Amino acid sequence: MKQISIVVPCYNEEASVPLFYKACEEALRPLPVEPEWWFVDDGSTDGTLEQIKALHRQDTRVHYISFSRNFGKEAAMYAGLEATHGEYVAVMDADLQDPPALLGPMLTILETEEYDCVATRRVTRKGEPKLRSFFARRFYKLLNRISKTEVVDGARDFRLMKRAMVDAVLSLKEVSRFSKGIFSWVGFRTQWMEYENVRRAAGETKWSFWKLLIYSLDGIIGFSTAPLALASYMGLVFCLLAFVLILYFFIKTLIWGDPVAGFPAMICIILLLGGIQLFSIGILGQYLSKTYLEAKHRPLYIAREKE
> What is the nearest approach in angstroms of ligand UDP to the Cβ of residue 43?
8
Put the strands of the sheet holding 2-10 in their side by side order.
190-195, 117-122, 155-162, 88-91, 2-10, 33-41, 62-67, 303-306
Region 267-306 residues binding Mg ion, contact defined as CB under 5 A: none
- Cα separation, 91 vs 5, in Å, equals 9
Decide: residue 278, CB within 10 A, 0-12 exposed, 13-18 middle, 19+ buried. exposed
Question: Which residue in 36, 95, 116, 218 binds ligand UDP (CB under 6 A)?
Answer: 95
- Cα separation, 147 vs 215, in Å, equals 16
Question: Which residue in 97, 147, 149, 190 binds ligand UDP (CB under 6 A)?
Answer: 97
The DSSP H or E segment spanning 181 is helix 179-185
33-41/88-91 β-pairing: unpaired
Which of the ranges 93-101, 239-247, 278-286, 293-301 carries the binding residues for ligand UDP, by CB under 6 A? 93-101
Question: Which residue in 13, 42, 87, 95 binds Mg ion (CB under 5 A)?
Answer: 95
Question: Which residue in 14, 36, 87, 93 binds ligand UDP (CB under 6 A)?
Answer: 93
Residue 62 main-chain phi, psi, to 5 deg: -90, 125
> What is the nearest approach in angstroms of ligand UDP to the Cβ of residue 80?
9
- Cα separation, 229 vs 240, in Å, equals 17
Per-residue mark of binding to ligand UDP, 179-208 (x: CB under 6 A): --------------------------xxx-
12 interacts with Mg ion by CB under 5 A: no
Region 71-90 residues binding ligand UDP, contact defined as CB under 6 A: 72-73, 76
9 interacts with ligand UDP by CB under 6 A: yes
For Mg ion, which is the closer residue by CB, 101 or 267?
Answer: 101
* Whole-number Cα distances in Å, 10 to 45, 89, 177, 263: 11, 17, 17, 60
Binding-site ranges for Mg ion (CB under 5 A): 93, 95, 97
What does the binding site for ligand UDP look like in residue numbers (CB under 6 A)?
9-11, 13, 42, 70, 72-73, 76, 93-95, 97, 205-207
